[in-house]
Structure 1
């Protein structure tokens, strides 16, 4: 069977599908990718069909201070909708050339849904994060209506009659578990996260409990103050071994470990507490290791992920823009109280099946 994976050029969205693609290939299927190039070609291996140019619509161009509705408005009007329009011709060409049995569509690559629906192909949604599963706009009908109108415009421009482009009527793969994300208003297959292979090894300096602080590489500009406060918090905690990930290299410390980047899976396997921004991959990689979290969300889906962590009893939440060293220290000291909750989430991840379960679901879609 042949599977076409349509994605935006965003590492966090591509990451879980890399493992699914590998599982499909191991089972003897053909897999190809489709998305904006050359960016996508740097994120995946194998056959890649170009679709659109993400340059004019890059998320990285978003003003860093946007929050709330302003951030949502930018995401839809300046990224999701124009990216979908730009990608449709390339996705259509890929479908013609590759002749897939199933199209797998990331929620932020709606061109895949438009083309699959227009061609009458079965398609599956890849929900790389749980943001949309809980209907975040359910209590905001005017904003929900505005999003619906933007989607209606997309469908009209491309001659498609289908429902919400973010949710396939055939299959929605959610790379989380009900234990963390809760119930969804949509029928979804909770397959759990698909962890990246460990990239490198890492050993702690000593036997003290390890506390890791990371905000992800894309938040370096916004995270300087929080990282500095975290450094001060850890410097005042001699009973723990601190490691602060500072992509800028601007921080200096004689007592707390600093790194521009880390082999995250390997480091989290040794950690006692992870302090992070609430990015889906970081949260899942920490909880996959059974490590309780201190979450300081910055924007986008991170606030929802932080709430899920708290509701699951797997960690504590901080205000990113207000937390001082004393607040961060208190949160770190309380985080071990949530170890049992983190262990429960780890067990749910292990039981969900990950890439192999996702591959099985996709095979069933190709052979109903």
Structure 2
């Protein structure tokens, strides 16, 4: 039996893949503990999860437990990257580091499993000479997106070096986003392409999917005679999504003779959009009533269950949503907003599994045309099914657990 400490940021999309791996390890007789935000981890991993508190900076929370980072909705490109690192990743690492050290002292893990955005996990493990594995819940980092921006890359390296000097081993080296021991990539080359970074430590295990707390859903309102299209912008993009959700609803309502839409609207933005348009004399807008059978609008949905029935997904190219859709062989319309999403959207388009559109400028016509393409043309669906076969063959959470066992066994051999 080995002990594994999972260090995770307070982000739903980063905790969910780790939950499946942790469950696989427990089923194989190992002990698992977490360093993270207790309420969020226990909601996703179960109420009995052993969680050592590592609070994020600030007390705010979003609608599903993620940190409420006050980021301007229109921030993009290098400016968004700077905001992400200076206002979220670095403060998060500094806030989590004491809790990670306490968790290590209390739990005495054989291996630390550190999410790429929970930098404290990697830096503390390195400082304490513990073997650690990277949990790469997005494949964007493997592409080295800063290779064409040397000044930005140099700034990023300096930021990481300074962070290591404060919370880790100042004499350490290497990128804390890529373990020198093991990098678990929750994708496959069929979607992500060849890994430029991470070297021979990368293990492509495909998506880690596991049962989640189910949300209520009016299944009786689904029409089996129409194509089902799911529209979602994830849990962290409600600040930027009102217009896009409204235009998506408009586009899909115009195709109601053959398409039924489910729109995830955590903040009720469609209702607000409809009221604003009505006040401006624009008619009834694109809001949907409670009994609407053409556009079903809900704050939260059982996404995995819906994807098993869906014919297409319209989304922001968040890695989890993309991989969950492709696991089910469902083609996508991707409209990236920021962070890793443009990279993931490019991977979807390059693989032929979907159509990429511009988030900020896409109107109902562009969204509708893209949906028509993925529903009517065979290419995107065939590509999505090819990726689905690769995902399922990669092994998922059980494969990740086996790689972690090998790492733990190597550590025990050394001691």
Where in structure 1 are there 5+ consecutive unaligned residues? Answer: none
State whether residues 249 and 295 of structure 2, in contact with CA within 8 Å, keep that contact through their aligned partners in structure 1. Answer: no
Q: Work out whether 1:127 is the aligned partner of 2:136.
A: yes
| Contact 1:6 1:112 (8 Å CA) reproduced | yes
Q: Is the 8 A contact 1:37 1:53 kept in 2?
A: no
1:1-368 equivalence runs, <5 A: 1-45=2-46, 46-55=49-58, 58=67, 60-157=69-166, 158-160=168-170, 161-185=172-196, 186-187=198-199, 188-197=202-211, 199=214, 202=219, 204-237=222-255, 238-249=257-268, 250=271, 251-252=287-288, 254=292, 256-260=294-298, 261-336=300-375, 337=377, 338-368=380-410
How far 1:217 moved relative to its partner? 3.4
Per the alignment, do residues 62 and 182 of structure 1 end up closer, same or farther by CA in structure 2, a change over 3 Å counting?
same
Asked if the contact 1:117–1:162 (Cα under 8 Å) also holds between the matched residues in 2, the reply is no
CA distance in 2, matches of 1:308, 1:352: 18
Hey, what's the Cα distance between the residues in 2 that align with 1:352 and 1:182? 15
Q: Deviations over 1:299-349 (max 9, x none)?
A: 111111111000111000111111111111111111132110000010011
Deviation at 1:138, TM superposition (A): 1.0
Between 1:34-43 and 1:320-329, the stretch displaced more is: 34-43
Structure 2 unaligned segments of length 5 or more: list them.
Answer: 61-66, 272-286, 411-415
CA separation in 1, counterparts of 2:177 and 2:332?
29
CA distance in 2, matches of 1:247, 1:38: 19
User: Do the aligned partners of residues 217 and 104 (structure 1) sit closer, same or farther apart at CA in structure 2, a change above 3 Å counting?
Assistant: closer
- Corresponding residue pairs, total: 368
How far did residue 40 of structure 1 move? 4.0
SS across alignment from 2:133: strand
SS of 1:218's partner is: coil
Stretches of 4+ aligned residues off by more than 6 angstroms = none
Q: 1:52 to 1:257 in 2, by over 3 A?
A: closer
For 1:309 and 1:29, how far apart are their aligned partners in 2? 36
Secondary structure of residue in 1 paired with 2:69 = helix
- In the alignment, is the contact (CA less than 8 A) between 1:81 and 1:154 conserved in 2? yes
Mapped to 1, the partners of 2:305 and 2:44 lie a distance apart of 21
Return the alpha-carbon distance in structure 2 between the equivalents of residues 36 and 272 of structure 1: 35
Measured after TM superposition, the shift of residue 75 of structure 1 is 1.0
1:39-67 deviation line (CA, Å, top 9, x unaligned):
44444331011124432694532222221
> After superposition, what is the alpha-carbon deviation per residue over 1:233-276, rounded to whole angstroms, capped at 9, x for unaligned?
11221122222222333122656222212211111111111111
The CA distance in 2 between the partners of 1:105 and 1:176, in whole Å, is 17
Give secondary structure in 2 for the equivalent of 1:307.
helix
